[in-house]
Amino acid sequence: MDLGLKDRVYIVTGATRGLGNAAARELVADGAKVVVTGREEKAAAEAAAGLGPNAVGVAADNSDAATPARLIAAAREHFGGFDGILISVGGPPPGLLADNTDEQWTAAFESVFLGAVRLARAAAAELAEGGVIGFVLSGSVHEPIPGLTISNGLRPGLAGFAKSLSVELGPRGIRVLGLLPSRIDTDRVRELDSLAADPAAARTAQESRIPLGRYGAPEEFGRVAAFLLSPAASYLTGLMLPVDGGYRHGF
């Protein structure tokens, strides 16, 4: 199936590694052009180089209010257009209620929540009919993850924001959706597993709860993201799609 991605231009934030990088890789593989971002200039440049000539890297901090306009300008300057954005943010620090400080909550709110809102707001002002705004969220939107109190507090709010935005932007032909990964085999998930007394046993226990019996591969997430961002998914909006091997048992 042709996804209709050829020469479409996307911004993918937090794309130097992990889920953002996997999504950018699949977009480029199907003919799209991408602006990939990361906090460090070197990492962003290396990630873009690894994707080939249809990618450019830009150092950007989602908590910086100037970032959205700068990224959209980069998309237009390098590739002559702007068709969509996938907002992928780093995971807040782990911890229980008593572990996380006000400073950690504030920093996470600025980057994870308010930074994502700003990016979406700027994109909504610039996108034409057929544009798309995607959010990489988490299975914690539906069920809190033990030991990730800050993430559990912020990501469900972003899902609600995305749903509201889908209603507001739908009449303009702009789609808004979210992806809810669970145990995808990334550095972040390995880091979380490593916090257990026995990381190998922790992974085995997690896999036992997944109907497919294994962690997902980053490219499996990336292919779903590329489809949802593509014109082939033109009648999907307001959707929060689990990418979790069946980990979520509810509808």
Q: What are phi and psi of 246, to 5 degrees?
A: 90, 10
Task: Tell me the CB-side half-sphere exposure of residue 161, using CA atoms within 13 A.
Answer: 19
More confident: 31 or 1: 31
pLDDT at 125 over 90: yes
More confident: 89 or 51: 51
Structure tokens that stand for 146 in this block:
């033990």
Percent of all residues in the chain with a pLDDT value above 70, rounded to a whole number: 100
Confidence of residue 64 (pLDDT cuts 50, 70, 90): very high
Percent of all residues in the chain with a pLDDT value above 90, rounded to a whole number: 79
Mean local confidence (pLDDT), 164-173: 98
Confidence of residue 191 (pLDDT cuts 50, 70, 90): confident
State the average pLDDT for the chain. Answer: 94
pTM recorded for the entire structure: 0.94
Confidence of residue 38 (pLDDT cuts 50, 70, 90): very high
pLDDT at 120 over 90: yes
pLDDT at 249 over 90: no
CB burial readout 203-227, b (16+ within 10 A) else e: beebeeebeeeebbebebbbbbbbb
Confidence of residue 104 (pLDDT cuts 50, 70, 90): very high
pLDDT value of residue 250:
76
- Strand spans (E) along 103-148: 132-136
3-state secondary structure at position 91: coil
Q: How far apart are CA 6 and CA 199, in angstroms?
A: 42
pLDDT at 197 over 90: no
CB 244 within 8 A of CB 181: yes
pLDDT value of residue 203:
93
